[in-house]
Amino acid sequence: MDPSALSAQAFDALADRYLAKFGDLTCYDQSYLVFCNGLKPGQAKVLDCACGPGHVAKYLLKQRPDLELLGIDLAPRMVELARAAVPSAQFMVHDCRDLFALERHFDGMICAFGLPYLSPEEALALIAAAERVLLPGGMFYLSTLLGPSTDSGMLHCSTGKVVHVYYHSEEVLLQALELHGFSVLMQQQISSPATASQVTMDLILIAKKMTD
């Protein structure tokens, strides 16, 4: 089975536990605020990739109630939880590896910890897709687990579910952003939150698409 589909099945089953474990985290709020502040004023259109149970969307709309936000996730239960948590936004089951099928353009795109479930090749493809779906001056937020690719592999959950976790290279991601016309506004490394299953180093990148 496709590793991303396998992970989606696991997150579908674990969605409620995930929300209880990570839904109230505040350690990433400052970076979300940087993203928000970079968006154009007045009804900016934002795509939340791998939206999970809607906790990021909820924060963004608290800061900017005017945002037109679309959240996508491969796990149906995650989408259900997001719709319940953020009724003012739109959510749908959709693969972030196929952004062009949305047939929309956005002023901002956020992918908070979606990359750990995308292979290095898929992560680079996502950055390339972001260049095409973001409008000039659009904001792009990425966060992931930082580490060598040799650390990537199957993670067996206590429930018996399996997810494929990928670690990514900061240098490779920065090079890809530059290649696709993004200017990096913020790069930050922080330790994983106490609720994480294992201790990791998290990478946050916020970039802006240069005007055409």
**Which segments within 58-105 are labelled E, that is strand?**
68-73, 90-93
Per residue, what are the HEC states of 100-115? HHHCCCEEEEEEECCH
Per-residue pLDDT at 198: 67
pLDDT along the chain (212 residues), means of 10: 74 73 82 97 95 95 98 95 97 97 97 94 98 98 89 65 85 98 97 68 96 66
The CATH code that applies to domain 3-209 is 3.40.50.150
HSE-CB for 131 with a 13 A CA cutoff: 15
Retrieve residue 37's tokens: 């502040």
